[in-house]
Amino acid sequence: MVQGRFHDPVLVAEIVAFLVRRPGIYVDGTLGGGGHSLAFLRALREAGYSEQSLLTGIDQDSAALEEAARTLRGYEEHSVLVKGNFQDIEAIITAVCGNKGLKPRVAGILLDLGVSSFQLDTPERGFSYLREGPLDMRMNSDAPLSAGDIVNSYEEKELARLIYRYGEEPGSRSIAKAIVAWRQKNGSVNSTKELADLIRRNAYGGEKVIKTLSRVFQALRIEVNGELDVLRRALCDGIDCLDDYGRMAVISYHSLEDRIVKTVFAEKARSDWGPKGVAMREPLAYGTVTLVTRKPLTASVEEIEANPRARSAKLRIIEKIPRKDHHE
Ligand SMILES: C[S@@+](CC[C@H](N)C(=O)[O-])C[C@H]1O[C@@H](n2cnc3c(N)ncnc32)[C@H](O)[C@@H]1O
């Protein structure tokens, strides 16, 4: 493991200001090192809400849970940390609230998507083309599929499709071809460095090489962790768990994630007026949320200077419309 900070959370002040407005149940679905959770718990304490509040932190990475437990020392009475996938957010909230005798109606949910700096910077986790390590990329080390399994077993066409779909890499076909040719000659691709060198040799030159490397590594990471598949479900189920006026905030770091967040939020905000051309007095179904942010919020220049990772962060927030209002 590399020495240094585990993870610097982004847009903390904005998220606390938008989400923490009353006592209640709060869920951090991407606990990481616990930076955002700590800010929630501090804000709840400062407002005198601690006694009526509970924070549930979820992460699928055991190393994150260990770090978060250290970060949140002193707040044990008001927090529960769970190893799990946020796609099971509803079941996790129901179980945690059931154990505490609370109704599973949530005041605030945060999803800070992607990987932490710790995961990226730890060579043994295999997330980065900048560090030599095994081709792993699993956030949950108990998961069955690693990046090595994909690189060494997928057919050329499947590889090309995934690099194009999840990496939006225009040269996906030639990269896939080069991987398969390497496998035929050498047996397998065995490390992040081997893969990165192979990509470098087969990408167009200059600045584009770095882009191609990050796109291919992003594509593999998304496939390994099923990142886009779990996101839609987590957003829909999370919204169902929100209490009246409860809020959900999502930070995404690339366009594929942001597109899903934007689409789901827009769908949930829209009332269903039935087929076009049919005049209706009221909709078949009312929207269940309002958009708190019409356009995504981004980090300030100062924050980006202090924490370059904040550069690509996009924050979207919705608020649950009270149930009674759906029928007014
Ligand atoms: C960007 S980091 C979050 C950092 C955190 N906000 C903080 O302040 O330290 C994303 C974290 O979410 C976790 N994660 C990503 N997808 C997940 C999923 N589907 N279920 C559970 N945890 C997930 C990762 O393991 C990682 O620790």
Separation of alpha carbons 156 and 267, rounded Å: 36
| Tokens read off for 312 | 């690509």
> Are the CB atoms for 221 and 227 separated by under 8 Å?
yes
The domain spanning residue 280 has which CATH number?
Answer: 3.40.50.150
Q: Characterize 51-81 residue by residue with b for buried, 16 or more Cβ atoms within 10 angstroms of its Cβ, and e for exposed.
A: eebbbbbbbbbebbbebbeebbeebeebbbb
Residues 18 and 107 reside in one and the same domain: yes
What pLDDT, on a 0 to 100 scale, did the predictor assign at position 274? Answer: 83
Q: Is residue 137 part of a domain?
A: no
Residues 85 and 146 reside in one and the same domain: no
Residue appearing with tokens 């019409």 = 294
User: Which residue's CA lies nearest to atom 14 of ligand 1?
Assistant: 30
User: Which residue's CA lies nearest to atom 2 of ligand 1?
Assistant: 116
Q: Is residue 120 part of a domain?
A: no
Rounded to the nearest whole angstrom, what is the distance from the C-alpha of residue 191 to the centroid of ligand 1? 24
Name the residue of 116, 121, 232, 311 to mutate for ligand 1: max ligand atoms within 8 A of Cβ. Answer: 116
Residues 154 and 201 reside in one and the same domain: yes
Write out the chain's pLDDT in tens, 328 residues: 344 689 899 999 999 999 999 999 999 999 999 999 999 999 999 999 999 999 999 999 999 999 999 999 999 999 999 999 999 999 999 999 999 999 999 999 999 999 999 999 999 999 999 999 999 999 999 999 999 999 999 999 999 999 999 999 999 999 999 999 999 999 999 999 999 999 999 886 666 899 999 999 999 999 999 999 999 999 999 999 999 999 999 999 999 999 999 999 999 999 888 888 888 888 888 899 999 999 999 999 999 999 999 999 999 999 999 976 654 4
> Are the CB atoms for 154 and 31 separated by under 8 Å?
no
Q: Is residue 1 part of a domain?
A: no
Rounded to the nearest whole angstrom, what is the distance from the C-alpha of residue 58 to the centroid of ligand 1? 8
Atom of ligand 1 nearest to the CA of 86: 20
At which of 174, 197, 225 does a domain end? 225
Instruction: Region of 311 please: left (phi>0), alpha (psi -120 to 50) or beta.
Output: alpha
What pLDDT, on a 0 to 100 scale, did the predictor assign at position 140? Answer: 97
Give the residue among 56, 64, 136, 128 at the shortest CA–CA distance from 99: 56
Look at the chain and report how many structural domains it folds into.
2
> Are the CB atoms for 287 and 251 separated by under 8 Å?
no
What pLDDT, on a 0 to 100 scale, did the predictor assign at position 298? Answer: 98
Q: Is residue 219 part of a domain?
A: yes
Instruction: Tell me the residue range of the domain where 92 lies.
Output: 12-112+227-327
Residues 102 and 47 reside in one and the same domain: yes
- Total Cβ atoms within 10 A of residue 303: 20
Q: Is residue 319 part of a domain?
A: yes
Residues 170 and 217 reside in one and the same domain: yes
User: Which residue's CA lies nearest to atom 15 of ligand 1?
Assistant: 114
Q: Is residue 316 part of a domain?
A: yes
What is the pTM for the complete model shown? 0.94
> Are the CB atoms for 219 and 167 separated by under 8 Å?
yes
Residues 208 and 232 reside in one and the same domain: no
User: Which residue's CA lies nearest to atom 5 of ligand 1?
Assistant: 32
Q: Is the dihedral of CA 182, 185, 187, 193 positive or negative?
A: negative
Rounded to the nearest whole angstrom, what is the distance from the C-alpha of residue 134 to the centroid of ligand 1? 21
Rounded to the nearest whole angstrom, what is the distance from the C-alpha of residue 113 to the centroid of ligand 1? 6
At which of 203, 225, 247 does a domain end? 225
Residues 108 and 232 reside in one and the same domain: yes
